[in-house]
Amino acid sequence: MVRIDFLKIIVASALLILPGKSMAEVDFDPTKAFVKTCSLCHGVHGDGKTPLASSMNPPPTDFSSPDARKRLTLETMITVISKGAKGTAMPGWSGRYTKNEIKALAQHILAHFLKSP
């Protein structure tokens, strides 16, 4: 029993000294964040097919489209997620997520929705 408690202390200590990571970031799940904050407009499959999206002009980005694969880089995604996109309904999320969380969310979108066909 004492050994398990000691291991918990070691793990907790390691988490506290991870460079540039808050405790919230250690627990951050980009899949859950996408579902919670992005899927309402972009859809759970990233294709932009949602009831809300049908009333938006311009519509949200369809991450599965060839156009999105051509124009969206990691840097572009980080900027748009952080600051939003002028002339669209896309808000900036820098007040909600840290820089590291936004990068993880952008990487999630690129890896799961912007794959080549």
Sorted by sequence, the CB contacts under 8 Å of residue 28 that are 6+ apart come out as: 100, 101, 104
Please check the confidence at residue 86 and state whether its pLDDT lies above 60: yes
* CA-to-CA dists, residue 4 to 10, 17, 26, 35, angstroms: 10, 20, 21, 35
Q: What is the pLDDT of residues 27-49, one digit of tens each?
A: 899 999 999 999 999 999 999 99
Give pLDDT, residue 25.
54
Of residues 1 and 49, more confidence is placed in 49
Phi, psi values for residue 106, rounded to 5°? -60, -45
Q: What is the pLDDT of residues 51-80, one digit of tens each?
A: 999 899 999 999 999 999 999 999 999 999
Supply the DSSP string of 78-110, one letter for each residue. HHHHHH--TTSS----TTTS-HHHHHHHHHHHH
Give pLDDT, residue 114.
87
Give pLDDT, residue 53.
92
State the pLDDT confidence band at 20, using cuts at 50, 70 and 90. low
> What domains can you pick out in the chain, each with its CATH number?
21-113 (1.10.760.10)
Residues 112, 64: contact at Cβ < 8 Å? no
**For the whole model, what pTM was predicted?**
0.76
